[in-house]
Structure 1
Amino acid sequence: MNIKELKIEQVKENKDIPFKLLKMADPSREQIESYLKTGSCYIAKHQSKLIGVLVLNSVNSTTIEIKNIAIKESEQGKGFGKVLLQQAENLSKELGYKKLIIGTGNSSIGQLALYQKSGFEIDRIDKNFFLKNYKEPIFENGIQCKHMVVLEKKM
């Protein structure tokens, strides 16, 4: 897949935010709305079809965080996630950041593999993050999601 095939555009209107896609990566509408207040939401289109979403949020003057990233289920496994991560890195560089971070659950096996294959390194574990910040328990791959694994990539 060619990176140019995936068109990324920033969402300008709240009514255009694809909550269904965002909820694939984060089941809490409350959490999503919280980070959308300060973050920038981008949508990914392939052949004019909405297939992905990305939310970037500045941490400080040198670090930016991917708060949410998701690819439509029917489009997963085709390399779009890898391309969207690359686009997040490109956007971050354009905005002048030196480090890109992303957090995912201890139970998110596929995501942990994808992020590390894309050059992210495990930085730290935020113990009990999901137990403290989510009302309902989250299970993935038969594992309870309790801890956030934070990965970083220096640019």
Structure 2
Amino acid sequence: MYLPRMMSSAENMIIQLLEGQDALPYDLLLLADPSREMIDTYISDSRVYLARIGEVRVGVYVLTPLDGKKAEVKNIAVHENWQGRGLGKQLLTDAAIKARELGFETLVIGTGNSSVAQLYLYQRSGFEITAIRKDFFVQHYPEPIYENGIPCKHMIMLEKQL
């Protein structure tokens, strides 16, 4: 599908909080978390932000309060057709801004040991590795997960001070 150049970058992206009556964008959420059941365990305690370019839904992130002054990005995804255009970085920046506005001091994000591109993006965005949750994906997901030809077994946790 051809899209005009002016609609191809993060500059034209609008990110909005989903309201209670809005349907959850499971098609996007499942890009980052392959288990709808797992998504349903954290979604009710979270704020879901949907990104659009024009009328096209291009991305999503989920912001969840943790104990104290920490919030976690539990899910962040960009539709496959829109990847590689800086939208993920913009979603991450927006999550940090929203978390700071909500009074949080630290933003946490986790990703699989096999999520090479995500680890690169998060570290380039100022996140630092703080922990590894050994066998997280083996224990919490019924089917094995593979990314980049690597078994996804461990959750790499990163944090950024806001």
1:65 counterpart (60, 69, 72) = 72
Residues 134 and 63 from structure 1, CA distance in 2 versus in 1: closer, same or farther, beyond 3 angstroms? same
Runs of 4+ residues deviating >3 angstroms: 1-4
Write the letter of the residue equivalent to 1:127: K
Matched, 1:91 2:98: yes
What is the alpha-carbon root mean square deviation over aligned residues?
1.5
Specify the alignment match of 1:52 in structure 2.
59
Residues 74 and 3 from structure 1, CA distance in 2 versus in 1: closer, same or farther, beyond 3 angstroms? closer
Give SS of 1:90's match.
helix
| Aligned equivalents of 2:45, 2:21: Cα separation in 1 | 13
Identity %: 46
In 1, are the aligned partners of 2:9 and 2:86 still within 8 Å (CA)? Answer: no
1:25 counterpart (19, 24, 32) = 32
Q: How many residues align?
A: 155
Q: Which runs of 5+ in 1 are unaligned?
A: none
Residues 9 and 15 from structure 1, CA distance in 2 versus in 1: closer, same or farther, beyond 3 angstroms? closer
1:103 counterpart (110, 130, 144) = 110
Q: Which runs of 5+ in 2 are unaligned?
A: 1-7
| Aligned equivalents of 1:74, 1:2: Cα separation in 2 | 12
| Aligned equivalents of 2:72, 2:141: Cα separation in 1 | 20
Write the letter of the residue equivalent to 1:80: L
Considering only CA atoms, is the larger Rg found in Structure 1 or Structure 2? Answer: 2
